[in-house]
Structure 1
Amino acid sequence: MKSIRIFCPATIANLSCGFDVLGLCLDTVGDEMIIHKSAEPGVRITKIEGANLPTNPEANVAGVAALALLHEWQTDFGFDIEIYKRIKAGSGIGSSAASAAGAVFGINELLARPFEKNELVKFAMKGEQLASGNAHADNVAPALLGGFTLVRGYNPLDVIRIESPDELHAVVIHPQIELKTADSRAVLQPTVPLKKAIAQWGNVGGLVAGLYTSDYDLIGRCLHDEVAEPYRKALIPAFEEIKNVALQQGALGSGISGSGPSIFALCKGLSTAKAVASGISVVYDRIGLTYETHISTVNPNGIKILNQD
């Protein structure tokens, strides 16, 4: 195989209660990437469409992730990467993760899979570190593994994949403002009161249990954040109103997608998801804020191969 074209999906991280440890993979929105083998060693970003991003591989999340992989699996040839961005930077649905995960997935395929998917997460995290200053895995893990993922620990890295209940749908509304992860992290408090921490632990455990048992009511009760949302919601226009409307339209729960500004809602069934998307759109229509909405099932596979030769 000399080249590969892949779909690199968007993701929702944190899922309210799972700050930096929980994420899910979306199926209807994502980037595309084409990676070619090259006789010249190293990594080159040869084309970027849809975003103004650096082509220097050491300053690009895809390049940094690719270089991390090749540092561990050295070759006498190299790779040229084309990136077609569909996920806007700073959207809160894993734009940098899609690029970082896509680069390591594609190169691994062209190398005849020397690494398992879960081993690729550590390389993709290097791209996240460049993007936000923090090597977190809650976006790159679901992008690579599909479904839901739980990062049980980082030292050593321990990622658990969780299947999604069949009827679960995600709705995302993205107000067209950019909110950088570093800025969103800056508003967080360095310590968490014990009472809030206990509530958060209970919600994480309950959400995981709800996913394994397809208990939609339990899933909804656990989509509550004591740690990040109380501080970040002020950065997102009409957040409380969007969340309240989503719940009124039947969403199981709603919260900030990643570090924002996108807002997600989880729903049982496509009809409910459509009602939620319609209802929350009215809020931004009324205040005159440009936005995008996405309705998606949970992608069970992660990155998809579109073509290879």
Structure 2
Amino acid sequence: MNANEIRVFCPATIANVSCGFDVLGLALDAVGDEMVVRKTTQKGIRITKLTGQDLPTETLQNVAGVAGLALLAQSNYDGGFDIEIYKKIKAGSGIGSSAASSTGAVWAMNALLGNPFSPLELVKFAMEGERLASGVAHADNVAPALFGGFTLVRSYNPLDVIKINTPKELYATVIHPQIEVKTSDSRRILKTTISLEDGIKQWGNVGGLIAGLFTEDYDLIGRSLEDHIIEPIRSILIPGFDTVKQKALESGALGCGISGSGPSVFALSKGIETAKNVAKAMSDVYDKIGIDYDIHVSKVNTEGIKIL
């Protein structure tokens, strides 16, 4: 590695994972952005190149720039950084496009500075990028990108992130219908209160999912991938959601739900062959509806961001 330059892979992520709104997430291995970050003597952060998406390169309007400035403000470094972003995760796709840019920037900067900040501190910096993107500094995408695997945000104040065991045979299938759902819009339609009955169901599923991941009990994981609070509202924004979910489950998926704020839909499966069968079933639904889509079959990325 050049002491003044680093190239990194920043994974896409699935947030919420059905029952864990704003607290659960996982990192993907098959899709992500690439970034090149360079130390400079010039103070501040500059986005010098951005390909793959029509996104702002002004530092204060770019999530990587904002997250990077948050780190710089807490560091002893007198210089700055130039950042090249090669976007491969579409903005508004629901698989952590803004989180990939935010985390990639702070992880690479930290590495070039000799790792003065902990992963938890990097989550805090990256959350500032999420605040710019969605209006809320949530951590359910940035935490798995930085820690790898599954993560639980146990608390936001104070911030407490726990890395969760990833069962070895667990695979994700993610289909992204080519429509855009902005996180800020999809948050606006959510209710601010829930019934006690729905809350009890939801936290029972969160506990069940965590237990299933640690014990590698795939049936328990499947039973716990239920969302009684967010999915019934957000699924209205996703064409064909109910059919996609039904076909995924019929094809052997353990569970299926909305990835992040949508419109991507994810399924978790035991084994890659099942995950591929689920991908075909999901694709068939959108082929019939006539909506273009991207689809990914991926192992869970237990490493998080990595040097290329």
Under TM normalisation by the shorter chain, which class is it? over 0.9
Cα shift readout 1:134-170 (whole Å, capped 9, x = no counterpart)? 0000000000000100000000000000120000000
Q: Structure 1: how far apart are the matches of 2:243 and 2:307?
A: 39
Residue 214 of structure 2 corresponds to residue 212 of structure 1: yes
Q: Structure 2: how far apart are the matches of 1:255 and 1:247?
A: 10
* Alignment counterpart, residue 262 of structure 2, candidates 260, 276, 288: 260
SS of 2:48's equivalent in the other structure is: strand
SS of 2:193's equivalent in the other structure is: coil
Q: Structure 2: how far apart are the matches of 1:139 and 1:280?
A: 23
Indicate if the aligned counterparts of 1:251 and 1:273 stay in contact, CA closer than 8 A: yes
C-alpha displacement of 1:187: 1.3
C-alpha displacement of 1:100: 0.2
SS of 1:6's equivalent in the other structure is: strand
SS of 2:42's equivalent in the other structure is: coil
Q: Which runs of 4+ in 1 moved over 4 A?
A: none
Indicate if the aligned counterparts of 1:41 and 1:75 stay in contact, CA closer than 8 A: no
Aligned-pair identity (%): 66
Residue 88 of structure 2 corresponds to residue 83 of structure 1: no
Residue 230 of structure 2 corresponds to residue 223 of structure 1: no
SS of 1:206's equivalent in the other structure is: helix
Q: For residue 64 of structure 2, what is the aligned residue in structure 1?
A: 62
C-alpha displacement of 1:118: 2.2
SS of 1:91's equivalent in the other structure is: coil
| TM score, norm. by length of structure 2 | 0.99
Indicate if the aligned counterparts of 1:43 and 1:80 stay in contact, CA closer than 8 A: yes
Q: For residue 33 of structure 1, what is the aligned residue in structure 2?
A: 35
SS of 2:227's equivalent in the other structure is: coil
Q: Structure 2: how far apart are the matches of 1:203 and 1:52?
A: 39
Indicate if the aligned counterparts of 1:28 and 1:295 stay in contact, CA closer than 8 A: yes
* Alignment counterpart, residue 274 of structure 1, candidates 273, 276, 292: 276
C-alpha displacement of 1:79: 0.4
Cα shift readout 1:212-231 (whole Å, capped 9, x = no counterpart)? 00000000000000110000
Q: For residue 180 of structure 1, what is the aligned residue in structure 2?
A: 182
Q: Structure 2: how far apart are the matches of 1:70 and 1:206?
A: 40
C-alpha displacement of 1:76: 1.5
Amino acid of the structure 2 residue aligned with 1:183: D
Q: Structure 2: how far apart are the matches of 1:116 and 1:275?
A: 40
Cα shift readout 1:5-24 (whole Å, capped 9, x = no counterpart)? 00000000000000000000
Q: For residue 9 of structure 2, what is the aligned residue in structure 1?
A: 7
Equivalent residues in 2 for 1:183-194 (5 A)?
183-194=185-196
Q: For residue 300 of structure 1, what is the aligned residue in structure 2?
A: 302
Consecutive unaligned residues of structure 2, counting only runs of 5 or more, are none
Q: For residue 145 of structure 1, what is the aligned residue in structure 2?
A: 147
Cα shift readout 1:83-119 (whole Å, capped 9, x = no counterpart)? 0000000000000000000000000000010012222
Residue 197 of structure 2 corresponds to residue 195 of structure 1: yes
SS of 1:136's equivalent in the other structure is: coil
Q: Structure 2: how far apart are the matches of 1:95 and 1:259?
A: 12
C-alpha displacement of 1:29: 0.1
Q: For residue 23 of structure 2, what is the aligned residue in structure 1?
A: 21
Amino acid of the structure 1 residue aligned with 2:288: R
Residue 94 of structure 2 corresponds to residue 92 of structure 1: yes
Q: What value does the CA root-mean-square deviation take over the aligned residues?
A: 0.6
Amino acid of the structure 2 residue aligned with 1:236: I
Indicate if the aligned counterparts of 1:267 and 1:273 stay in contact, CA closer than 8 A: yes
